[in-house]
Amino acid sequence: MFDPTAEQLELAQAVRDFCHAEIGPTVKEDDEHERFRKELIGAMGAMGFCGVPTEESWGGLGLGYLDYVVVLEEIARVSASYAVSVAVTGLPQIILRMFGDDAQRAQWLPALAQGQALGAFALSEASSGSDAASLTTTATRHGDDYVLRGTKLWCTHGGVADLYVVMARTGGPGPKGVSAFLVPGDAPGLRGGKKEEKMGLRASPTTEVVFEDVVVPASSRLGPEGTGFRVAMAALDSGRITSGAVATGVGQAALEFSARYATEREQFGQPIIDFQGVGFMLADMAARVDGGRLMVRRAAWLRDQGLDYGQAAALAKLVATDAAMAVTTDAVQVLGGNGYTREYPVERYMRDAKVMQIVEGTNQIQRLVISRQIKARYRA
């Protein structure tokens, strides 16, 4: 069911060719120097990679989520940082398509889908991580405007985004007091704060975002007041699928590199892949990558069919990201001492894979979500 079609294979090849030609030559240098090249997002947007599931009428390719995860996996095989950037720019598009009105879509969707605008999602705060409903950033109504005050953390594209989807409190405590807003990156009072010095995804900027009396019109609110938490949770469901796709791409890259290494590296007069300790490890790595890929594609397929995909997305994110962490760790082990050096890419794969177990809800939260769904399903 999830074997790629001829069209998907052609799309994957186009992504692969672009990434190897345009991202591959400097991926190591970008990682070392924490350099983000925004122009690459524009180039990928021009190829259609930034707006795969967005309708053609709004500037996208009008394809399915299954096509989208194929694209993200291919980008991640070369650079997880840029795969995450494409996915994060895709998140406001998903939100606009689900919750925006036509004026909001017309203003933002074409630029986002074509890579001419960079998107960001601002939810997490210092005291609001897994407990997202406890956020304290406020949006206070003043006539036809709202005034936003607060600080967001862990914002991909913070300080460089053209559009932020911001969750802010317009009412009382808890999820019913949260609303969602579209905030332009050049809004007076909005600025990027401290840049995080990260272990992985070093070519993707992550910063605080500070809102100091940022005024936005009421027309920038997504849906009625009090529905922002629903917007955030719907976005996270979709984001869990894309996180799984990125993790799968990283795991595939680690598998391919370590397998080639194991066929070329000789000890005791034979390739190390011929030793069961290495060969069986590679077999387990292949099984984990393929298992994660199938889970991700199943969740994407369910989404494309208009079926309930919430649990499938949580399962896909859990399985694929745990698989990527295990596979990249084993890749370092296959290379031995060489794997621990920056001369080889497997240590970067391992660093990049780790964060995929944390973003879009930690894997502990995914287990909580899944266990609650199991309880509801099998309750006597």
Measured CA to CA, the distance from residue 310 to residue 305 in angstroms comes to 13
Please pick, among 73, 208, 347, 360, the residue that the annotation labels catalytic: 360
Residue 15: partners with Cβ closer than 8 Å, 6 or more residues away:
47, 49, 70, 71, 74, 75
Q: Indicate the SS3 state at residue 62.
A: coil
Return left, alpha or beta for 25; rule: phi > 0 is left, psi -120 to 50 is alpha, else beta: alpha
Do 238 and 304 contact (CB within 8 A), yes or no?
Answer: no
Per-residue 3-state assignment (H helix, E strand, C coil) for 65-81: HHHHHHHHHHHHHHCHH
Beta-bridged to residue 139, according to DSSP, are 148
Structure tokens at 338: 């060489």
Any catalytic annotation for residue 360?
A: yes
Taken as a whole, the chain contains a residue count of 380
Question: What is d(CA 89, CA 86) in angstroms, rounded to the nearest whole number?
Answer: 5
Nearest residue to 251 via CA among 312, 199, 315, 322: 322
Helix/strand/coil for 216: strand
114 phi, psi to nearest 5 deg: -95, 10
Structure token digits, residue 221: 């609110």
- Collapsing DSSP to helix, strand or coil, 174 comes out as coil
Please identify every residue annotated as catalytic: 360
